[in-house]
Amino acid sequence: MKTYVFPINIEPDQYDDGTPAFSASCEILNVYTFGDTYEEALIKIHEAIEITLESMIKHGEPIPIDPAQGVMELDHPAVAVTL
């Protein structure tokens, strides 16, 4: 089991109908999603990244590890805390 760390962006946004929302992205993996709240966007981007990585591993695609861009691969479980 490995732990992967990817930087993400979460910003205020809106849906097509003008309803307030938050957009979330991980540009390194080309993953984007939305949520009604900041917290929902954070959960959805986490799930989207996990699904993307599982697919990449299944298909033998390389994970884009680049410490200069904040991307890390650890050989042990870890917790990331943002304050």
The residue ranges of every structural domain in the chain are 3-74
Phi first, then psi, for residue 73 (nearest 5°) are -125, 125
At 18-71, the pLDDT tens digits run 999 999 999 999 999 999 999 999 999 999 999 999 999 999 999 999 998 989
Helix (H, G, I), strand (E, B) or coil at 18: coil
Fold of 3-74: Double Stranded RNA Binding Domain (3.30.160)
Q: 33 near 24, Cβ under 8 Å?
A: yes
Determine whether 77 is exposed, middle or buried from the number of CB atoms within 10 Å of its CB (0-12, 13-18, 19+).
Answer: exposed
Helix (H, G, I), strand (E, B) or coil at 10: strand
Predicted model pTM: 0.89
How far, in Å, CA of 58 to CA of 14, rounded? 34
